[in-house]
Structure 1
Amino acid sequence: MMTLNRTLACWLTIVALAGAAWSPTLASPAASAIADARVADISRALDERRLVDAGRMLDQALLAGVQDARLDLLTGELQLARGRPADALETFTRAGAAPSAHAAARQGAGLALSLLGKSDEARAALEEAVAADPHAGRAWNGLGAEHDRRREWAQAEAAYERALATSADPAPVYNNRGFSRLLQGRLDEAVADFVQALERKPDMDAARTNLRLAMAMRGEYDRAVSGATPAEAAALLNNAGFAAAVRGDYRQADTLLTQAIKARGEYYQRASANLQYARDLAAGDQRRPTANADR
């Protein structure tokens, strides 16, 4: 129906890796308690997106000589959160050498590979993760996205169902499933999923943006752009204009995209390309779009 890029960054939420067994090199109860406390503190910092704190605590743990497979996994999660998937992949690959960390490491590696655009390898790693741990909710969520990329809608739906049943944080799953349904033209169901995501995480920008896009796809252009801040206006108008073009509402698309360009106050390549696309369609040119919605 349209080409919309899924933002997995946007979409990957770092969660605590509770339950991952730690390295047997820590044998004493005292050492175990210290490791457990450090892992809990770092996990909490990652959950709360306090990345500087998480990095500082990881550095302190390593300098203190704490040996625990979970620290490698948390280092990989921090690298993912900082937008360094190549480093994360290397870290997760190293962490996977510990049998106790295998499932979590394959999950992390699969998410990193997906961000790197290595879809086939990502899918294989994520399938390995859920085979090793059927409760690996983030791996199921990542598999859903990989199925979406292949337009394997039934498999994607099944993966998201498993993710919702096993994820500690369902908001990213609802967001991803909503986007999957948006791509399929199941607009009412998509809106419901984005609302579910926002009810669980009101500050989830990706879900809010996607909800506005779904409203625009239903022709609710005013609702799609209402309440936008000056910083948001250009991108939201672009998204609404693109949705109008996809719907065949070319006059409205022209209006919204022209407003997007004016709101940006400088050259807006994406909106300009979308405006040309809408005008080509209006003139009877059915070429596929070369631009898409802001994510």
Structure 2
Amino acid sequence: MRHKIVIALLAGGTMMLSACAGRDGDVARALSGEKEQREIDEIMLSVAPPQEAVAFFRKRLAEEPGEITHQRGLASALVRSKKASEGARVWQEVASNPNATNEDLVNFADAQIRTSDWAGAKATLDAIPPTHESFERYRLEAMVADSQRDWKRADSFYETAVGLTTTPANVLNNWGYSKLSRGDTQAAERLFAEALTYDRTLFTAKNNLVLARATRRAYALPGIPMSQEERAQLLHTAALAAIKQGDTDIGRNLLEDAIDTHPRHFEAAVRALQAMSA
């Protein structure tokens, strides 16, 4: 299907070009070619397999060395294919280009964070003018502030980021985890629950909510949407939290519930229960 889409785009561009002549035709040809290439790039970065996208943009760069558009595509494809270190190097090349944008710097900072280069990410973000306001910029600013344990700035950036998107589930989950790491479990619970109002399928928020509740020894699962398998996994999370806090009998019962609940064999819970009986 992906190749059919690309072929359709190419065919559409050819038909448009065949109708043009003279100077107007040259202009239309150039505009059509640019638009077509942007669409193909978007397809490669969104629906193509990551490794295929990397190969595609490497080929483009070999044909046009130093072209910033191809560098952006390659950097994005590398990050998407979980090659963050290599992606960060390419983003650094993009960021040093005179035609680099503030958004390029944001993407470079994102790649730096993925490689745990927190100091580098902070320096990159600090180089962006304060007038450049975007969800991604403030999401990353919050994460950097978290890494420095600068809680006041982190909370401010998280709050700003949430206000700049209609899909804040992941950033609310990150904010909640930040609160949990500081010991503010009440705020953490609230943020995890709020995240689930935006995305009821976000399992990390469900798991984190169970962990937050467990810190006050509330091991019963919260009233949130969950599949049977998710329920088993959350029972397992609650069980381990209970055992860690010395509530071994409760933990054992929760492990048994997790094993009984899981639609298939739940190896992790079985091993944990066997370890308790050893």
TM-score range, shorter chain: 0.5 to 0.7
Match of residue 161, structure 2, among 160, 163, 166: 163
CA contact (8 A) 2:221 2:234 kept: no
Aligned to 1:85: 84
Aligned to 2:9: none
Q: Structure 1 counterpart of 2:241, which letter?
A: A
Higher relative CO (Cα under 8 Å, sequence separation at least 6) belongs to 1
Aligned to 2:208: 210
Specify whether residues 128 and 172 from structure 1 end up closer, same or farther in structure 2 by C-alpha distance, changes over 3 A only.
farther
1:253-264 alignment runs, 5 A limit: 253=251, 255-256=253-254, 264=266
TM-score normalised over the length of structure 2: 0.65
Q: Structure 1 counterpart of 2:34, which letter?
A: A
Deviation for aligned residue 1:176: 1.2
Aligned to 2:149: 151
Aligned to 1:181: 179
Q: Structure 1 counterpart of 2:68, which letter?
A: A
Deviation for aligned residue 1:250: 5.2
Give the Cα–Cα distance (whole angstroms) in 1 for the partners of residues 80 and 106 of structure 2: 15
Specify whether residues 68 and 211 from structure 1 end up closer, same or farther in structure 2 by C-alpha distance, changes over 3 A only.
farther
Q: CA RMSD in A?
A: 4.3
Deviation for aligned residue 1:86: 0.7
Helix, strand or coil for the counterpart of 1:135?
coil
Specify whether residues 206 and 266 from structure 1 end up closer, same or farther in structure 2 by C-alpha distance, changes over 3 A only.
closer
Specify whether residues 266 and 217 from structure 1 end up closer, same or farther in structure 2 by C-alpha distance, changes over 3 A only.
closer
Superposed CA deviations along residues 38-72 of structure 1, whole A, max 9, x for unmatched, are 435644775xx634189449827928968863443
Match of residue 52, structure 1, among 49, 59, 82: 49
Specify whether residues 144 and 266 from structure 1 end up closer, same or farther in structure 2 by C-alpha distance, changes over 3 A only.
closer
1:76 maps to 2:78 = no
Give the Cα–Cα distance (whole angstroms) in 2 for the partners of residues 110 and 190 of structure 1: 26
| Runs of 5+ consecutive residues of structure 1 not aligned to the other structure | 1-26, 276-295
Aligned to 2:119: 120
Deviation for aligned residue 1:115: 2.0
CA contact (8 A) 1:39 1:71 kept: no
Aligned to 1:223: 221
Helix, strand or coil for the counterpart of 2:82?
coil
Deviation for aligned residue 1:187: 3.2
- Is the radius of gyration larger for structure 1 or structure 2? 2
Q: Structure 1 counterpart of 2:242, which letter?
A: A
Aligned to 1:18: none
Aligned to 1:284: none
Give the Cα–Cα distance (whole angstroms) in 1 for the partners of residues 79 and 243 of structure 2: 35
| Runs of 5+ consecutive residues of structure 2 not aligned to the other structure | 1-25
Aligned to 1:111: 110
TM-score normalised over the length of structure 1: 0.62
Deviation for aligned residue 1:160: 0.9
CA contact (8 A) 1:240 1:256 kept: yes
State the identity as a percent.
21
Deviation for aligned residue 1:251: 4.4
Aligned to 1:265: 267
Superposed CA deviations along residues 196-220 of structure 1, whole A, max 9, x for unmatched, are 4334344433333323333434544
Deviation for aligned residue 1:88: 0.9
CA contact (8 A) 1:93 1:105 kept: no
Specify whether residues 186 and 64 from structure 1 end up closer, same or farther in structure 2 by C-alpha distance, changes over 3 A only.
same
Match of residue 137, structure 1, among 126, 135, 138: 135
Give the Cα–Cα distance (whole angstroms) in 2 for the partners of residues 133 and 87 of structure 1: 29
Deviates more, 1:167-176 or 1:31-40: 31-40
Helix, strand or coil for the counterpart of 2:138?
helix
Of Structure 1 and Structure 2, which has the larger fraction of its residues in helix? 2
Superposed CA deviations along residues 258-291 of structure 1, whole A, max 9, x for unmatched, are 877997436999x69x98xxxxxxxxxxxxxxxx
Helix, strand or coil for the counterpart of 2:132?
coil
Give the Cα–Cα distance (whole angstroms) in 1 for the partners of residues 269 and 168 of structure 2: 38
Helix, strand or coil for the counterpart of 2:221?
helix
Deviation for aligned residue 1:107: 1.8
